[in-house]
Amino acid sequence: VAISIALVLWRGSHLVIQKTLTPGDLLVFITYLKNAFEPLRKLSNQFSEIAKATASGERVIHVLDYEPHVRNYPNAKPAHSFFGAVRFENVTFGYDTGNEILKNVSFEVQPGQQVAVVGASGGGKSTLTSLILRLYDPNSGRILIDGQDLREYTLDSLRQQISIVLQESILFAASIRENIAYGNLDATDEEIEQAARLANAHEFITNLPDGYDTVLGERGCTLSGGQRQRIAIARAAIRHAPIVVLDEPTTGLDNASVQAVNKALHRLTRERTTFIISHDLKAVEDADLILYVEDGQILERGTHQELMRLSGRYTALYKLKNAVNRGENNYAFN
């Protein structure tokens, strides 16, 4: 458009100088020219939007057509209501052939017990809990819940009975009520409030301008980290799942938020089989079973007291964490 107007001005100026065109006629011509280009500009923008929409549509179709690696087995049946007994039998898993993340892992958990999975980063802790959710299948060995192989259950019925709270739980740009209800779409308002109370979230929710109808920003950006985690805990609680997976749920939170979240987690996991992945060894001292995982293997197992008596890798890590925490506290005090 600018080039066209420049050419018209250049040629029109010559015609005005030669007195074959009046300045008024030139101005009218330029105005008509700009008006003529306006529909073309809008059409060009429409083509640009269509191109973007086409690219987005192709990506959506790709997602819809994606065939997951983990599927229901032909004879899979809906899971019964779990008691929560979990057993790993010689489980080996790797994302790529020849690159094993877990190696011959075996352990057993009774209903209602708490199991802490600790160790250095990259040791396979999160992979272990991903297998319980059947996000992947083992390369060899098997995982049983209540004595039955996970693969004998349909995926939906299996995952409906497992709640998970992650380090960075995903909240949607929707109301708090809707975010909690994603854990159970049939939940009543009363059940949503009960879940929020259990998660130690009811008080701060009612102090918000619209209470439970307050609309959150994308990923819950309008809330603090501790508040986001308590909403996620309420969502997990309303599911009433017999098995709970906690993957670093307090990492990155300040001390006050950690205390509030830990109180909520204590209520959530009461009488439920719970798997806790944590670098905070103080937080898992009371676990019924602690698994020290390194390089894909369980090197040590037992209660906190039993592992401390071994004076092995867990003890060394525990003492190191305590020394680091004391150093941080002394630095903060000074």
> Both 127 and 57 in a single domain?
no
- Residues 264 and 308 both lie in one domain: yes
Last residue of a domain, one of 16, 33, 65: 65
Window from 28-32, 44-48, 301-305 with minimum mean pLDDT = 28-32
Residue 264 maps to a domain: yes
Q: What is the mean pLDDT of residues 39-45?
A: 78
Residue type for 70, please?
V
- Say whether both 222 and 276 belong to one domain: yes
Pair (138, 282) in one structural domain: yes
CA count, 13 A, side-chain hemisphere, 249: 33
Domain boundary pick from 31, 65, 99:
65
The answer on pLDDT for 304 being more than 50 is: yes
Beta-bridged to residue 96, according to DSSP, are 99
Residue 52's SS3 state is: helix
Same domain, yes or no: 121 and 20: no
What CATH number should be reported for the domain holding residue 207? Answer: 3.40.50.300
Q: Letter for the amino acid at 162?
A: I
Is residue 70 a part of any domain in this protein? Answer: no
Structural domain contains residue 75 = no
- Do residues 149 and 143 make contact, with C-beta atoms less than 8 angstroms apart? yes
Give the chain's domain count. 2
Say whether both 200 and 308 belong to one domain.
yes
Looking at the fold, whether 19 and 156 belong to one and the same domain comes out as no
Instruction: Tell me: do 170 and 319 sit in the same domain.
Output: yes
pLDDT for position 279: 85
| Same-domain pairing of 178 and 108 | yes
pLDDT of residue 24: 79
Q: How far is CA 114 from CA 85, 89, 167, 283, in A?
A: 11, 19, 18, 12
> 128 and 20 share a domain?
no
Percentage of the chain surpassing pLDDT 70? 96
**Cα-flanking dihedrals φ and ψ of residue 173, to 5°?**
-75, 75
The reported pTM is 0.76
Residue 146 lies in a domain: yes
Please count the helices (runs of H) and the strands (runs of E) in the chain.
11, 10
Alpha helices in 182-312 (DSSP H): 189-198, 202-206, 225-237, 255-269, 304-310
Q: What is the dihedral of CA 74, 79, 84, 89, to 10 degrees?
A: -10
Using a 10 angstrom Cβ sphere, with 0-12 exposed, 13-18 middle and 19 or more buried, the burial of residue 37 is middle
Residues 306, 115: Cα–Cα separation, whole Å: 14
Kindly report, residue by residue over 110-143, the tens digit of the pLDDT: 999 999 999 888 888 899 999 999 999 999 999 9
Q: Which domain holds residue 114?
A: 86-333
Average pLDDT of span 238-252: 89
Indicate whether 124 and 26 sit together in one domain: no
Residues 274-288 pLDDT 10s: 999 988 888 899 999
Q: What is the pLDDT of residue 331?
A: 45
Q: 237 or 70, which is more confident?
A: 237
103 lies in some domain: yes
pLDDT of 276: 93
Q: Decide if pLDDT at 91 tops 80.
A: yes
How far apart (Å, rounded) are the C-alpha atoms in residues 297 and 36? Answer: 73
Q: pLDDT class for 272, splitting at 50, 70, 90?
A: very high
* Least confident segment among 145-149, 209-213, 268-272, 321-325: 321-325
Co-location of 114 and 241 in the same domain: yes
Residue 333 has pLDDT above 60, yes or no: no
Q: Report how far Cα 219 is from the mean position of its chain's Cα atoms.
A: 10
